[in-house]
Amino acid sequence: MGKLYLVPTPIGNLEDITFRAVRILKEVDLILAEDTRNSGKLLKHYEIKTHMQSHHMHNEHKTVEGIVQRIKNGETIALISDAGTPAISDPGFLLTRACVEAGVEVDCLPGATAFVPALVNSGFPNDKFIFEGFLPVKKGRQTRLKLLAEESRTMIFYESPHKLLKTLQHFVEYFGDDRPVSVSREITKLHEETVRGTASEVLQHYTQKPPKGEIVIIVGGKP
């Protein structure tokens, strides 16, 4: 029987990949990639010639069974996402669960993920925290925010730049305008920045300076 490797890839700076990850990607029989065009740049940079196959949120329900069978037949397969660790707000959970249920060995390599540097860099308590990922867009959003308003642990959110202002407005509304917030943008990239302050201060900053790039929001828990 083969094995499934979950391989983290850089979230920006191409140097943020482990020697082991490069070796595994060269040795496996197949690489499952969220976007083969995007991942092709990484593979070319490290001279990895392993064949790639598309595996993303729109087709994973249909392909999981076949992939598991290929591994059971002896193939070693690596799963990568566009950036970061597979299954963290990216495809990977369904395949991992299917492999575990089928008795297939799964090996997740340590590596890049956006929320850890954002959390540590915020200066907020990180002995206890919760990862929320992306908030619901419409249905369930208000209910979730009301519950999180009472959360005492540091909270971690992912957000797209064009939705950041709306989310910050909701934090002011549900958590209070003085709740501490830290927004990290473009982590490991050329224009990386972290803006810290109260919810209202950070909202004002990005109202005056529209954000760009990948965003992680850290919110202090209720005192």
Measuring CA to CA, how many Å separate 186 from each of 95, 115, 195? 29, 12, 12
Per-residue tokens: 1: 């029987």
Measuring CA to CA, how many Å separate 77 from each of 1, 6, 71? 11, 9, 7
pTM: 0.93
Per-residue pLDDT tens listing for the chain (223 residues): 899 999 999 999 999 999 999 999 999 999 999 999 999 999 999 999 999 999 988 888 889 999 999 999 999 999 999 999 999 999 999 999 999 999 999 999 999 999 999 999 999 999 999 999 999 988 899 999 999 999 999 999 999 999 999 999 999 999 999 999 999 999 999 999 999 999 999 999 999 999 999 999 999 999 9
d(CA 132, CA 122): 16
* In contact, 217 and 114? CB cutoff 8 Å: no
Which amino acid is it at 202? Answer: V
Which residue from 144, 117, 162 is spatially nearest to 16, judged by alpha carbons?
117
* In contact, 28 and 48? CB cutoff 8 Å: no
* In contact, 164 and 209? CB cutoff 8 Å: no
